[in-house]
Amino acid sequence: MVRTPLTPWERQRGERLGALLREARGGRSMVEVAAAAGVSAETLRKIETGRAPTPAFFTVAALAAVLGISLDELAAVCARSGDDGERALTA
C-alpha cells in the first residue's frame, strides 16, 4: 500500500500536537508517560518530534488522558493554521 504524502498543513498539525504533548508532559519522563498511556517511549518520542504526524486516535486519546488534556483542547490546538488563526477540522 502506498501512502499519500502529507501536506505541509498536516505536517504542521503534527508538530503542534507534539509540542502540546511535550509541554503537558512537563517534568515527567517520556518513559513514565508512555508507560502510563500504554505506548512505547519511541512512539511518544516520534509524536513529540513530529516524525509521526498522524498517530492513531486511540494513541492520542490515551496520551491525552494521562496528561490531563481534553480531546477538545487537543483538537482546537491541532486545528489551528499557522497563517489564518483557526481552521475548521476536516473529517
Average pLDDT, the chain: 86
> In the CATH scheme, what architecture does the domain 8-79 have?
Orthogonal Bundle (1.10)
Residue 68 grid coordinates: 490531563
CA 22 to chain centre: 9
Residue 3 grid coordinates: 501512502
Taking residues 43-48, report their average pLDDT: 96
Residue 46: is its pLDDT beyond 70? yes
For the whole model, what pTM was predicted? 0.81
| Domain positions in the chain | 8-79
Taking residues 57-81, report their average pLDDT: 91
CB 63 within 8 A of CB 33: yes
